[in-house]
Amino acid sequence: AKQQGGNKMQFYSTEMNEQVLYQLELESYLRRALEKDEFHLCYQPLVDLATGEIYGSEALIRWQHPKLGLVSPGEFIPLAEETGLIHDIGKWVLKRACQENKKWQDMGYGHLTISVNVSANQFQQISFIDEVKEALNETGLAPQYLTLELTEGVMLRNISHSIIVMKELQKLGVKVSIDDFGTGYSSLSYLKDLPINTLKIDRTFINNLKVNTSDIAIVKAIITMGHGLSVKVVAEGVETNEQIALLKELECHYAQGYYINKPLKSDDFEKGLRQLKI
Ligand code: C2E
Ligand code: CA
Ligand code: CA
Ligand code: CA
């Protein structure tokens, strides 16, 4: 048994080494991904539930590596945060997203908005506001068509600094959305003090949404609160027609999810613009 235990240890530490090696390899590849032009953005439509029309999209980063294949942002964004690479990647995302949205507006879809995810280290950076201004200036996108998605975790990392930055964004005319709403541990009291335009209900509440469940009570409460605070409410992760129907009934403003569309490559999003209607 002792011998076996020893072997087991050996086995685990080999596995751990592999894990460490993979992380190191990933990091060295990630350092060169921008210069090698390995990133692209996918766009997932956001639909107005009252009209069924697309009013915008969320930009979601993709990393296509020649050897590793498609690496998910869930895997490399945390690494980008740890290594500081998030600054350059975040700047690239912001600029590319504004650029592509402006292109669609110029094609005749002038109402389209773009939502961009912002990570904690990016948001806390002193230069963040300047980077947002720069992306808007360089692409010509009007500020009201840009929404920045922040999680509660991002905001609450340094609440006093976050308030200053959010007020600056509001002055600029850029919109702010609280992402993954309902999963944080924060008190609700900050909602009335912060300049927030949208609450995005986390998909874990939407995924199992059915009548007579506790999830519906939570979703209903968030939507009611949104109406009371005059902020728009988005439901993300909508996967069934039943969920759409319930959300409409609850007067949720916007929806996003696989039932409507998966995140699409830029070209496919563009092709779909005319047809996409629920
Ligand atoms: P998120 O901001 O909560 O984005 C929503 C995620 O849910 C996306 O995963 C999207 O593909 C997925 N999703 C959309 N509809 C459905 C659905 O109906 N069902 C299910 N099960 N999932 C759905 P993705 O693209 O893998 O992104 C994961 C996370 O990575 C994002 O979560 C966001 O936190 C982060 N991320 C993505 N792009 C960026 C970026 O450009 N910058 C930063 N900082 N983070 C990003
Ligand atoms: Ca998001
Ligand atoms: Ca989310
Ligand atoms: Ca998330």
Cα Dmax for the chain = 72
Query: CB within 5 A of ion ligand 3: which residues?
Result: 179-180
Give the nearest ligand 1 atom to 60 CA: 38
From the CB of 117, is ligand 1 less than 6 Å away? yes
DSSP letters for 208-260? T--TTSHHHHHHHHHHHHHHHHT-EEEEE---SHHHHHHHHHTT--EEESTTT
User: Which residue, among 103, 54, 41, has the nearest Cα to 276 in the 3D structure?
Assistant: 54
User: What pLDDT score was predicted for residue 66?
Assistant: 95
pLDDT at residue number 1: 40
Low-confidence stretches of the chain (pLDDT beneath 50): 1-3, 5
Tokens read off for 114: 């773009």
Residues 47, 260: contact at Cβ < 8 Å? yes
**Do residues 169 and 149 make contact, with C-beta atoms less than 8 angstroms apart?**
no
Q: Are 206 and 243 in contact (CB under 8 A)?
A: yes
Residue 167 has a pLDDT of: 95
Q: How far apart are the first and last CA of the chain?
A: 62
3-state secondary structure of 180: strand
State pLDDT tens for residues 93-138.
Answer: 999 999 999 999 999 999 999 999 999 999 999 999 999 999 999 9
> Residue 232 CB: number of other CB atoms within 10 A?
19
Looking at the DSSP bridge assignments, the partners of residue 63 are: 39, 71
Kindly give the number of the ligand 1 atom that is closest to the alpha carbon of 258.
18
Pocket test for ligand 1, best of 117, 242, 262 (most atoms within 8 A of CB): 117
* pLDDT for position 2: 44
Whether 144 and 114 have beta carbons less than 8 Å apart is answered as no
Q: Is the CB of 13 under 6 A from ligand 1?
A: no
Q: How many C-beta atoms lie closer than 10 Å to residue 265's C-beta?
A: 13
Helix 159-172 / helix 128-139 crossing angle, nearest 10 deg: 20
Q: Which two tokens stand for residue 15?
A: 């596995």
Quote the pLDDT of residue 107.
Answer: 93
Question: What pLDDT shows up at residue 44?
Answer: 98
Q: Is 73 in the pocket of ligand 1 (CB under 6 A)?
A: yes
CA 162 to CA 130: how far, in whole Å? 15
pTM beyond 0.90, yes or no: yes
